[in-house]
């Protein structure tokens, strides 16, 4: 993990070239080398444009950014575009006319807002692409572009890729074929006559190039065996060849002559004096009889000398130009004072107070007047204690009296700071990105949080920008005047400050020559070859090496890594499909789960245990988009994907006979709740606190119990709460009488027509329109964890970060309804009367499964149900066991029973920061019939969506609606994990350990930091950053048709945010989408390990596993089957 | 084995076990081969259980034999008879130290168990447990210390481990800055403590509490120094206590201390460390009896802190700061109780409060869930009304009070402005004078002491 902590700085160097960044720059950057003009490689036309702008002026990034956001808006789906419009609020619009630049400032704020993290209140965690704002750029450009904006890593560090290379997770042929594809015709061009570009780049990827500071390198050369032994990474044959050729060369061209003092040919290369010195240094004597080691040393000495003289005098290529427009960094270097630190100390508590949803007992005064007014009112009369803010009260007073609007304040600040109008946009963006977590939350609360306790009024972000700029102006003024004793004009301060700062170091000869020196050893550039190069050729060589920068190498590595996993996956699927699957008995149980990758293993185990069990995968809200309120809940919560806004309200109600007892329990709950709340708030006050504290010794009991015996404690707790929980017998208020849906009685639920539509749609989606089993179990899922602010991130993504139990229950009720069945049958979808649907809920953390409405189960189906429960219980045990292989704290030798206990304890343990591993390792999305992947071990890495191409319309309507839900959802999850992994500190929220819940909206590190969106390291720790690979069972033509219709899908796929391939419905052939078209995939291998059961494959192994085929040799009957077969016979 | 020997044995075990634990964890780390995660946790567990057992043993013996003041001697380390000064290592088990030691063992043990899972796979796991054991060692030494020097030893260990744990995530800047901030406040407290201890030595030739309390078991006993001496020493100890317990004006560091991992925040700033100042006041309580003025100071400081923290706690918007200030409120109250002379009440208050806050802090990340559960139970949004004080004052006063609380009483800014700046200014002045002198004496133009970025700037100009 160490590298991850260091890495953010490494990348951040690009944005803020400061003194500390010099220490941590990545190897190649420390050469002072330009990173490859990263935007310029193999891109769509738009981005070539960017590259040019980038090199032209320093504001290019921002300018381009704004442009791209504005073009994006036209393409956005309606709902998102709608959100964008809210920003122009009535509140600020009125004042917009008062300044001529109002509109442009407002537009700038909106543009900037798109770059802010779009995570809303953490209570409902919705996975989304961290770089959603960049989606209309190709992935490789977007990550670099985002690096320039946020200063975050685009890929994992190079040495991590090298580890994967060393362990065979990336192979040489992956690297070369990716390089070939990347370079195209440029691959075979010769570089300075020493090798081809492909060879050079492959070599640079294959072997680690080390570098250091100049003194380090000088020490290395002088004091280590760098000049006497070849690098240990150098291949032996190259080493031998180089020594041999050098010996030959020296003997031929130098040795005889130097002995006879005829030095003509030697002086041509300026080598002779050096050579003589080296020969003497190595002991002199008769060089013909020299030992091999002496020759090795001589070779290296010569090589080093060639390299040094070769790179000498080559100028620096394209200096990096990404200077910040803000004065913060120059001022920090000049004065040692970080103005952002000053500002943040004031703004973080204020933002938190402004947004607070209920942690503080005393809400911010004047909050309802908006950010700007509240700030002014609060600080207008403040006595100046912090010297830098001494002027603030008088300035605020002036604003208050003159009635300036936030827009006017922004404009005044920009003018006073001397920002030219052309840069306002960029400057505002940079300003908002300073504290991007908080700014993002302000924006979210302003635009997207009407359901919270206290949403922010419109215009909040703009008002925040006004205050922030005002403070910035004051702080800069103060630093200039008081610390730097500079009384000049603020507008021209930038020039004065910059003038005195140190300039970027010159390019280092040591570093350049050492790089070539190493490469020569790996690729076999002999001293003779290098000595013969002209200056132009040397320039070409160095330029070429430096063009393949750290960033470029990581890009290629990433693609090679993805290629390996893609080929493994496709090979496995093809091989698996080549042999006909063994015939299966007609299904006795059908089980449908969410398409979640965590259900892959669960389904696999179910099928392994019972060949007569058929499983399906579907988006876990089961088509029932609703606001739901449970019998013991206070509020309605939306249970559906975020892109859908539910129209219907459903409540769970206690059955009529139990209503009285329910009411008593409810009153008890209420009384207990009030007491607890009183204790909670009281413990923070003076007198109440004294009372609770005096009795506090009692608290040691739950403390000790909870920490030492989590499972026992939670059982006791559950036993106790079961007395006050609503009675078990409840039902959903599903059916509506009134025409209009709403929250009130009579308006709750769906009409019969709506129910029919929902039922029909889900069954068609998963292709379950015939061959119904007598019992169909629909399982929703969620996760219960303790002490975990990110709890919602483990819940069902298709239910908008909530628990999907009510959805499966609702669908089961709908499909059991005879009227619905009747109507379905009229339309040709006949569900046999013998088939019964049961809703269930799978807790993916403790692997429990609970069933709904069992009291309605017909007597005829008891036996089926008991059979199903046996299978499910066995599958739970096996699933828990498979999951435990990933938990280091569970021994590898754990039994299935113990594994189940282990995961149960995890979910109830308050000290557990990894209650489950969530979607970590997700990498594949499969859309197709289960029969194509049944019995394929996919290591819990695949989203499995059921789809039957044989039942689709000729236009692919069903596939389109499946893909338009599944692809964005899976890509959102996948990319959020990708970015939270590649830069845990920048895109993710770092380690969970110091997290601190703030304003009930998010987490901070410690007591005052920026708000931290993204996933914590503990969640993504074992993830592998791979873009999700979709395998869709359809024809290329069909998919192309759909892509032409659907812009959202097209954007994700064409810009390579997801990888797409199609599996032919009738044959095991796969075509991969690349460069705008589908290309047939040639399998690399046709072997796949075969095992009798999953456990035989994963047992004893904690790391990632490849694919395997599960062929139950002789089905060992489980307890369930044994009982069953006994019962039948 | 007679009772004395048994006391001696159990007392020794209580004191020695944490030291053994510290070396057991520390030495292999020094050699670069730390124990595995499980073994580290196991050692901690064994040590805590042994120490706790010994402590409970002492307690039951004390109850059985009605002996409330059991000294354990570790011998004289040096003595200067002519100067009437000596130093000896001794521990005392009495009605103050035994409950405190038991509390320490229980909480440290629980947090150890908690952390062994919470910090699983964290690169700093071993560092955490090393500091955790150092903290345990410091806590035990300080609580059962029989002389002021021993107390100081434990006091220092606690300070060091606290500061290092705050800066636990040292790859980020904020924790390091805050760790250093805490360290500097602790140094001020330490300086006051040390001067106080020196004065006591000066007056009595030794720092044993026994002499201070005239060989009578805590909390009775009277000091055998003059009231004025008591006032001077007592005020110094009060400054020390204020620094350690984050009383006014040092309160600013308490929320900053929440940078470390949750378990360490819980045990340090919710539970044990923050009460150490009050423990010191309890330990020297005979001094308070001597001087009414001193008692009044203690009471006033405590009451002021309680009011200030109570108000500040109301506006905190993050759960850890809210708990920190809530905790401080009670620490202020406890201090006030000590000032009023309620020793037992204060002791009970400390113990109850420490347990409660540990539980609250350890469960702090569960806040969202708790609020959700409460909302569901009540069936509505949680009521959030302004308090009595807020409602009964004028809007302008409300604003002023709110701002005062949000800015945490401007304590940090005040200290920076009125203490640190003049202090630094003075030393900068000394520095420049020194440079001038050196230049004058050496006749060379370029003799600079360490140059700050600031002076560099001036040079360039």
Cα–Cα distance measured from residue B14 to residue A217, given in angstroms and rounded to the nearest whole number: 54
Residues 201-240 of B with CB under 8 A from A: none
Cα–Cα distance measured from residue A809 to residue B344, given in angstroms and rounded to the nearest whole number: 58
Across B432-453, average pLDDT: 71
Nearest CA-CA distance, residue A940 and chain B, Å: 22
Q: Verify cis geometry, omega within 30 degrees of 0, for the bond prior to B249.
A: yes
In chain A, which residues have their Cβ closer than 8 Å to the Cβ of B173?
Answer: none
Nearest CA-CA distance, residue B273 and chain A, Å: 17
- Give the angle B370-B372-B378 at the CA atoms, nearest 5°: 100
Q: What is the pLDDT at residue A154?
A: 94
Closest partner CB to A335 (pick from B307, B400, B457) = B457
In chain B, which residues have their Cβ closer than 8 Å to the Cβ of A684?
Answer: 313-314, 322-323, 325-326, 329
Q: Residues A211, A217: contact at Cβ < 8 Å? A: yes
Please, which contacts does A858-866 make with residues 24 or more away whose CB atoms are closer than 8 Å? A860/A834, A861/A774, A861/A775, A861/A836, A863/A1127, A864/A588, A864/A589, A864/A774, A864/A775, A864/A836, A865/A775, A865/A838
What DSSP state is assigned to residue A657?
A: G
Q: What is the pLDDT at residue A257?
A: 53
Among candidate residues B214, B155, B213, B209, the one with its CA nearest the CA of residue B187: B155
Q: What is the pLDDT at residue A442?
A: 95
Q: Minimum mean pLDDT among A37-41, A282-286, A474-478, A771-775: which range? A: A37-41
Closest partner CB to B320 (pick from A360, A680, A996) = A996
Closest partner CB to A703 (pick from B255, B307, B359) = B359
Between chains, do B171 and A334 touch, taking CB under 8 Å as contact?
no
Across A1099-1118, average pLDDT: 78
Nearest CA-CA distance, residue B261 and chain A, Å: 4
Encode A126-163: b = buried (16+ Cβ within 10 Å), e = exposed.
bbbbbbebbbbbbbbbbbbbbbbbbbbbbbbbbebbbe
* Phi, psi dihedral angles at A843 (to 5 degrees): -90, 110
Q: What is the pLDDT at residue B88?
A: 75
Most confident of A519-533, B126-140, B364-378: B126-140
Cα–Cα distance measured from residue A134 to residue A990, given in angstroms and rounded to the nearest whole number: 23
Q: What is the pLDDT at residue A44?
A: 33
Q: Is the pLDDT of residue A38 over 50?
A: no
In chain A, which residues have their Cβ closer than 8 Å to the Cβ of B452?
Answer: 336
Cα–Cα distance measured from residue B398 to residue B383, given in angstroms and rounded to the nearest whole number: 20
pLDDT band at A893 (very low <50, low <70, confident <90, very high): very high
What average pLDDT does the structure give for chain A?
84
DSSP for A356-416, please give it: -SSSSSSPPTTGGG-HHHHHHHHHTT----SGGGTTHHHHHHHHHHHT--HHHHHHHHHHH
* Phi, psi dihedral angles at A937 (to 5 degrees): -80, 115
Q: CA B189 from chain center: how many Å?
A: 10
**Chain A interface includes B314 (CB < 8 A):** yes
Between chains, do A360 and B370 touch, taking CB under 8 Å as contact?
no
Q: What is the pLDDT at residue B211?
A: 63
pLDDT band at A503 (very low <50, low <70, confident <90, very high): low
Nearest CA-CA distance, residue B322 and chain A, Å: 8
In chain A, which residues have their Cβ closer than 8 Å to the Cβ of B353?
Answer: 693, 696
Q: What is the pLDDT at residue A283?
A: 72
Nearest CA-CA distance, residue B329 and chain A, Å: 6
pLDDT band at A724 (very low <50, low <70, confident <90, very high): confident
Residue with tokens 């002379």: B341
Across A407-419, average pLDDT: 92
Q: Is the pLDDT of residue B395 over 60?
A: yes
Q: What is the pLDDT at residue A30?
A: 34
* Phi, psi dihedral angles at A582 (to 5 degrees): -60, 145
Q: What is the pLDDT at residue B457?
A: 38
Q: Residues B190, B156: contact at Cβ < 8 Å? A: yes
- Give the angle A217-A223-A227 at the CA atoms, nearest 5°: 75
pLDDT band at A270 (very low <50, low <70, confident <90, very high): low
Q: Residues A738, A747: contact at Cβ < 8 Å? A: yes
Q: CA A902 from chain center: how many Å?
A: 28
The predicted-structure confidence for B147-192, as pLDDT tens digits, reads as follows 888 889 999 999 999 999 999 999 888 899 999 999 999 999 999 9
Q: Which residue of A lies nearest to B318 if distances are taken between CA atoms?
A: A998
Q: Number of residue pairs across A and B with CB atoms under 8 Å?
A: 300
pLDDT band at A1116 (very low <50, low <70, confident <90, very high): very low
Q: How many C-beta atoms surround the C-beta of residue B277 within 10 A?
A: 26
The predicted-structure confidence for A1016-1071, as pLDDT tens digits, reads as follows 999 999 999 999 999 999 999 999 999 999 999 999 999 999 999 999 999 999 99
Q: What is the pLDDT at residue A997?
A: 94
The predicted-structure confidence for A900-938, as pLDDT tens digits, reads as follows 999 999 998 999 999 999 999 999 999 999 999 999 999
Nearest CA-CA distance, residue A688 and chain B, Å: 10
Q: What is the pLDDT at residue A278?
A: 77
Q: Minimum mean pLDDT among A26-30, A323-327, A597-601: which range? A: A26-30
Q: What is the pLDDT at residue A14?
A: 36
The token pair at A733 is: 């208020």
Across A527-531, average pLDDT: 87
Q: Minimum mean pLDDT among A180-194, A487-501, A577-591: which range? A: A487-501
Between chains, do B329 and A991 touch, taking CB under 8 Å as contact?
no
Q: CA A306 from chain center: how many Å?
A: 46
* Phi, psi dihedral angles at A392 (to 5 degrees): -55, -50
Q: Minimum mean pLDDT among A172-181, A687-696, B243-252: which range? A: A687-696
Q: What is the pLDDT at residue B205?
A: 67
Burial class (CB in 10 A: 0-12, 13-18, 19+), A261: exposed
The token pair at A1115 is: 């089905």
- Give the angle A649-A654-A659 at the CA atoms, nearest 5°: 130
pLDDT band at A77 (very low <50, low <70, confident <90, very high): very low
In chain A, which residues have their Cβ closer than 8 Å to the Cβ of B358?
Answer: 699, 703
DSSP for B358-393, please give it: HHHHHTGGGHHHHHHHHHHHHTSPPP----HHHHHS
pLDDT band at B85 (very low <50, low <70, confident <90, very high): low
Most confident of A319-328, A944-953, B218-227, B414-423: A944-953
Across A359-375, average pLDDT: 92
pLDDT band at B87 (very low <50, low <70, confident <90, very high): confident
Q: What is the pLDDT at residue A373?
A: 94
CA quadruple A1095, A1101, A1103, A1107: dihedral positive or negative? negative
Between chains, do A995 and B365 touch, taking CB under 8 Å as contact?
yes
Residue with tokens 């704002």: A133
In chain A, which residues have their Cβ closer than 8 Å to the Cβ of B380?
Answer: 634
The token pair at A1064 is: 């032919």
ipTM: 0.92
High-pLDDT (> 70) share of chain A, %: 87
Burial class (CB in 10 A: 0-12, 13-18, 19+), A518: buried
Closest partner CB to A123 (pick from B257, B368, B453) = B368
Q: What is the pLDDT at residue B453?
A: 43
Q: What is the 3-state secondary structure (H, E, C) of A827-844?
A: CCCCCCCCCEEEEEEEEC
Nearest CA-CA distance, residue A41 and chain B, Å: 34
The token pair at A1018 is: 């503990």
- Interface mutation vs chain A, best among B267, B278, B313, B318, most A CBs within 10 Å: B318
Q: Which residue of A lies nearest to B379 if distances are taken between CA atoms?
A: A634
Q: Which residue of B lies nearest to A906 if distances are taken between CA atoms?
A: B117
Among candidate residues A904, A929, A631, A700, the one with its CA nearest the CA of residue A783: A904
Cα–Cα distance measured from residue B125 to residue B35, given in angstroms and rounded to the nearest whole number: 11
Q: Is the pLDDT of residue B204 over 70?
A: yes
Closest partner CB to A353 (pick from B325, B356, B406) = B406
Q: Minimum mean pLDDT among A245-254, A831-840, A897-906, B204-213: which range? A: B204-213
Nearest CA-CA distance, residue B303 and chain A, Å: 10
Q: What is the 3-state secondary structure (H, E, C) of A626-642?
A: EEEECCCCCCCEEECCC
- Interface mutation vs chain B, best among A392, A631, A683, most B CBs within 10 Å: A683
Q: What is the pLDDT at residue A254?
A: 67
Which residue(s) pair with A238 in the sheet?
Answer: none
Cα–Cα distance measured from residue A123 to residue A416, given in angstroms and rounded to the nearest whole number: 41
Q: Dihedral, CA atoms, A42, A44, A50, A53, nearest 10 degrees?
A: 80
Q: Which residue has the higher pLDDT, A282 or A479?
A: A479
Q: What is the pLDDT at residue A463?
A: 95
pLDDT band at A99 (very low <50, low <70, confident <90, very high): low
Q: Is the pLDDT of residue A24 over 50?
A: no
The token pair at A756 is: 């029919």
Closest partner CB to B316 (pick from A360, A363, A483) = A360
In chain B, which residues have their Cβ closer than 8 Å to the Cβ of A672?
Answer: 377
Across A756-763, average pLDDT: 95
Between chains, do B369 and A677 touch, taking CB under 8 Å as contact?
no
Nearest CA-CA distance, residue B332 and chain A, Å: 9
Cα–Cα distance measured from residue A664 to residue A724, given in angstroms and rounded to the nearest whole number: 8
pLDDT band at A10 (very low <50, low <70, confident <90, very high): very low
In chain B, which residues have their Cβ closer than 8 Å to the Cβ of A789?
Answer: 365, 367-368
The predicted-structure confidence for B298-349, as pLDDT tens digits, reads as follows 999 999 999 999 999 999 999 999 999 999 999 999 999 999 989 899 999 9
Residues 317-336 of B with CB under 8 A from A: 317-326, 329-330, 333
Residues in chain A: 1129
Q: Residues B284, B98: contact at Cβ < 8 Å? A: no
Cα–Cα distance measured from residue A29 to residue A554, given in angstroms and rounded to the nearest whole number: 13
The token pair at A428 is: 């505002």
What pairing do the DSSP bridges indicate for beta strands A626-629 and A637-639? antiparallel
Cα–Cα distance measured from residue A5 to residue A1, given in angstroms and rounded to the nearest whole number: 7
Treating both helix axes as pointing N-terminal to C-terminal, what angle do B227-244 and B173-204 enclose, rounded to 10 degrees? Answer: 170
Q: What is the pLDDT at residue B383?
A: 79
Q: What is the pLDDT at residue B276?
A: 92
DSSP for B92-143, please give it: EEETTHHHHHHHHHHHHHHHHHHHHHHTTT-TTHHHHHHHHHHHHHHHHHHH
Q: How many C-beta atoms surround the C-beta of residue A88 within 10 A?
A: 18
pLDDT band at A16 (very low <50, low <70, confident <90, very high): very low
Across A11-32, average pLDDT: 35
What pairing do the DSSP bridges indicate for beta strands A1108-1110 and A924-928? unpaired
Q: Is the pLDDT of residue A84 over 70?
A: no
Between chains, do B117 and A911 touch, taking CB under 8 Å as contact?
yes
Nearest CA-CA distance, residue B46 and chain A, Å: 14
């Amino acid at each position: 993990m160490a590298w991850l902590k260091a890495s953010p700085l490494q990348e951040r160097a690009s944005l803020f070239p400061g003194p500390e960044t010099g220490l941590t720059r990545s190897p190649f950057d420390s050469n002072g080398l330009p990173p490859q003009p990263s935007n310029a490689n193999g891109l769509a036309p738009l981005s070539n444009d960017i590259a040019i702008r980038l090199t032209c002026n320093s504001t290019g990034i921002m300018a381009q950014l704004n442009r791209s956001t504005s073009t994006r808006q036209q393409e956005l789906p309606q709902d998102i575009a709608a959100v964008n419009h809210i920003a122009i609020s009535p509140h600020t619009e009125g004042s917009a006319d008062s300044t001529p630049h109002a509109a442009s400032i407002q537009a700038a704020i909106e543009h900037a807002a798109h770059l802010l993290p779009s995570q809303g209140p953490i209570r409902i965690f919705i996975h989304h692409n961290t770089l959603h704002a960049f989606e209309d750029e190709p992935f490789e450009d977007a990550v670099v572009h985002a690096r320039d904006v946020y200063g975050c890593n685009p890929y994992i560090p190079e040495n991590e890729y090298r580890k994967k290379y060393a362990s065979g997770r990336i192979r040489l042929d992956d690297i070369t074929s990716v390089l070939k594809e990347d370079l195209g015709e440029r691959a075979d061009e010769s570089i300075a006559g020493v090798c081809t570009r492909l060879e050079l780049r492959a070599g640079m990827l294959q072997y680690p190039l080390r570098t250091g500071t100049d003194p380090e390198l000088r020490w290395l050369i002088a004091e280590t065996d760098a000049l006497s032994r070849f690098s240990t990474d150098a291949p032996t044959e190259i080493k031998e060849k180089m020594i041999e050729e050098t010996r030959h060369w020296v003997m031929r061209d130098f040795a005889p002559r130097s002995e006879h003092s005829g030095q003509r040919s030697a002086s041509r290369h300026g080598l002779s004096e050096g050579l003589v010195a080296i020969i003497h240094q190595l002991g002199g004597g008769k060089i013909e009889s020299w030992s091999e080691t002496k020759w090795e040393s001589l070779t290296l000495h010569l090589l080093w000398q060639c390299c040094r003289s070769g790179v000498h005098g080559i100028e620096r290529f394209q200096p990096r130009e990404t200077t910040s427009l803000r004065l913060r960094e120059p001022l920090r270097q000049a004065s040692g004072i970080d103005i952002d630190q000053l500002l943040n100390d004031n703004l973080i508590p204020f933002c938190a107070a402004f947004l607070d949803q209920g942690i503080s007992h005393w809400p911010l005064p004047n909050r309802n007047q908006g950010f700007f007014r509240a700030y002014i009112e609060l600080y207008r009369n403040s006595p100046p204690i912090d010297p830098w803010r001494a002027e603030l009260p008088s300035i605020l007073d002036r604003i208050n009296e003159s009635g300036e609007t936030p827009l006017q304040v922004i404009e005044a600040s920009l003018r006073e700071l001397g920002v030219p109008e052309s840069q306002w946009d960029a400057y505002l963006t940079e300003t908002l990105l300073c504290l991007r977590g908080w700014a993002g939350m302000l924006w979210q609360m302003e635009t997207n949080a009407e359901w919270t306790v206290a949403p922010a009024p419109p215009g909040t972000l703009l008002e925040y920008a006004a205050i922030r700029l005002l403070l910035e102006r004051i702080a800069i003024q103060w630093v200039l005047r008081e610390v730097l004793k500079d009384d000049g004009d603020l507008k021209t301060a930038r020039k004065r400050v910059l003038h005195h700062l140190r300039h970027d170091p010159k390019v280092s000869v040591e570093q350049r020559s050492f790089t070539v020196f190493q490469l020569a050893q790996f690729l076999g550039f002999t001293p003779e070859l290098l000595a013969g190069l002209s200056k132009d050729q040397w320039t070409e060589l160095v330029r070429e090496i430096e063009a393949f920068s750290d960033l470029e190498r990581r890009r290629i590595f990433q693609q090679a890594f993805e290629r390996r996993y893609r080929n493994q996956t496709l090979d496995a699927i093809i091989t698996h499909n080549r042999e006909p699957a063994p015939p299966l008995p007609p299904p006795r149980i059908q089980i449908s789960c969410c398409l979640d990758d965590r259900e892959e293993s669960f389904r696999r185990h179910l099928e392994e245990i019972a060949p007569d069990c058929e499983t399906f995968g579907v988006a876990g809200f089961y088509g029932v988009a609703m606001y739901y309120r449970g019998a013991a809940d206070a509020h309605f919560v939306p249970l559906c994907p975020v892109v859908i806004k539910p129209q219907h309200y459903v409540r769970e109600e206690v059955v009529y006979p139990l209503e009285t007892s329910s009411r008593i329990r409810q009153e008890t709950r209420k009384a207990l709740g009030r007491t607890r709340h009183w204790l909670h708030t009281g413990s923070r006050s003076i007198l109440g606190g004294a009372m609770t504290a005096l009795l506090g010794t009692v608290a040691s009991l739950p403390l000790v119990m909870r920490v030492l015996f989590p499972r026992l404690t939670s059982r006791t707790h559950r036993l106790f709460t079961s007395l006050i929980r609503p009675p078990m017998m409840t039902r959903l208020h599903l059916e509506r009488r009134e025409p209009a849906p709403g929250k009130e009685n009579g308006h709750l639920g769906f009409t019969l027509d709506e129910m029919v539509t929902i039922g029909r749609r889900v069954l068609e989606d998963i292709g379950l329109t015939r061959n119904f089993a007598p019992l169909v179990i629909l399982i929703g899922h969620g996760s219960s964890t303790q002490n975990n602010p990110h709890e919602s991130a483990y819940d069902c993504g298709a239910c908008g970060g909530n628990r999907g139990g009510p959805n499966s229950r609702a669908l089961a009720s709908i499909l059991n309804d005879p009227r619905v069945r009747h109507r379905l049958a009229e339309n040709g979808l006949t569900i046999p009367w013998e088939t019964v649907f049961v809703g269930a809920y799978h807790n993916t953390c403790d692997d429990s499964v609970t069933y709904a409405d069992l009291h309605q189960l017909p007597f005829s189906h008891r036996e089926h149900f008991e059979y199903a429960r046996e299978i499910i219980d066995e599958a739970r045990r096996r699933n828990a066991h498979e999951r435990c292989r990933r938990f280091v704290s569970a021994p590898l030798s754990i039994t299935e029973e113990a594994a189940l206990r282990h995961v149960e304890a995890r979910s109830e343990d308050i000290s557990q920061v990894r209650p489950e591993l969530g979607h970590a390792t997700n990498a594949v999305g499969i859309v197709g019939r289960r029969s194509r992947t049944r019995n394929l071990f996919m290591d819990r890495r695949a989203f499995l969506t059921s789809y039957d191409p044989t039942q689709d319309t000729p236009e692919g309507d069903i596939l389109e609606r499946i893909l338009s839900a599944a692809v964005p959802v899976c890509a959102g999850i996948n990319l959020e994990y990708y970015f939270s992994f590649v830069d845990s500190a920048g895109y993710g929220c770092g380690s969970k350990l110091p997290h601190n819940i703030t304003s009930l909206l998010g987490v901070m590190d410690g007591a005052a930091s920026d708000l931290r969106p993204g996933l914590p390291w503990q969640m993504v720790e074992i993830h592998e950053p791979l873009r999700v690979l979709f395998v869709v069972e359809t024809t290329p033509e069909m998919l192309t048709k759909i892509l032409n219709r659907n812009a959202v899908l097209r954007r994700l796929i064409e810009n390579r945010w997801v990888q797409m391939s199609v599996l032919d419905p009738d044959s095991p052939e796969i075509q991969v989408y690349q460069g705008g078209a589908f290309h047939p995939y040639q399998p690399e291998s046709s072997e796949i390990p075969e095992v009798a059961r999953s456990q035989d494959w994963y047992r004893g192994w904690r790391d990632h596993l490849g694919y395997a085929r599960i062929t139950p040799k002789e089905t060992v009957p489980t307890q369930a089957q044994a009982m069953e077969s006994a019962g039948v016979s | 084995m007679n009772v004395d020997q048994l006391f001696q044995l159990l007392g020794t075990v209580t004191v020695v076990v944490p030291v053994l634990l510290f070396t057991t964890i520390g030495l292999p780390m020094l050699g670069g081969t730390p124990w595995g995660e499980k073994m580290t946790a196991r050692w901690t567990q064994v040590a805590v259980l042994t120490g706790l057992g010994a402590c409970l043993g002492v307690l039951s013996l004390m109850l059985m034999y009605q002996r409330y003041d059991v000294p354990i001697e570790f011998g004289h380390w040096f003595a200067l008879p002519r100067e009437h000064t000596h130093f000896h290592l001794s521990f005392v088990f009495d009605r103050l130290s035994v409950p405190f030691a038991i509390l320490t063992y229980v909480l440290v043990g629980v947090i150890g168990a908690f952390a062994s899972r919470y910090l699983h796979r964290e690169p700093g796991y071993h560092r955490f447990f090393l500091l955790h054991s150092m903290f345990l060692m410091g806590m035990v030494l300080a609580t059962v210390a029989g002389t002021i020097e021993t107390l100081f030893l434990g006091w220092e260990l606690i300070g060091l481990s606290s500061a290092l744990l705050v800066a636990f995530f040292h790859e980020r800047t904020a924790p390091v800055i805050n760790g250093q901030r805490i360290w500097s406040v602790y140094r001020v407290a330490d300086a006051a403590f040390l001067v106080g201890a020196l004065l006591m030595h000066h007056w009595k030739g030794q720092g044993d509490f026994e002499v201070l309390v005239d060989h009578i078991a805590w909390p009775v006993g009277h000091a055998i120094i003059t009231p004025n001496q008591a006032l001077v020493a007592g005020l110094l100890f009060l400054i020390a206590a204020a620094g350690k317990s984050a009383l006014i004006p040092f309160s600013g560091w308490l929320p900053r201390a929440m940078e470390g991992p949750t378990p360490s925040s819980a045990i340090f700033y919710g539970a044990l460390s923050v009460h150490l100042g009050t423990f010191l006041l309890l330990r020297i309580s005979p001094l308070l009896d001597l001087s009414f003025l001193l008692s009044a100071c203690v009471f006033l400081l405590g009451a002021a802190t309680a009011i200030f923290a109570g108000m500040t706690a109301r506006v905190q918007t993050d759960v850890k700061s809210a708990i920190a200030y809530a905790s401080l409120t009670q620490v202020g109250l406890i201090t006030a109780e000590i000032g009023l002379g309620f020793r037992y009440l204060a002791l009970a208050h400390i113990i109850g409060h420490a347990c409660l806050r540990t539980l609250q802090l350890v469960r702090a990340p569960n806040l969202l869930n708790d609020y959700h559960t409460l909302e569901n139970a009540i069936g509505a949004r949680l009521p959030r009304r302004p308090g009595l004080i807020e409602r009964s004052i004028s809007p302008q006063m409300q604003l002023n009070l709110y701002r005062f609380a949000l800015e945490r009483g401007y304590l940090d800014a005040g200290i920076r402005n009125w203490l640190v700046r003049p202090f630094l200014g003075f030393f900068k002045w000394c520095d420049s004078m020194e440079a001038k002198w050196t230049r004058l004496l050496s006749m060379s133009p370029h003799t600079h002491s360490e140059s700050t970025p600031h002076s560099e700037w001036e040079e360039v100009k």
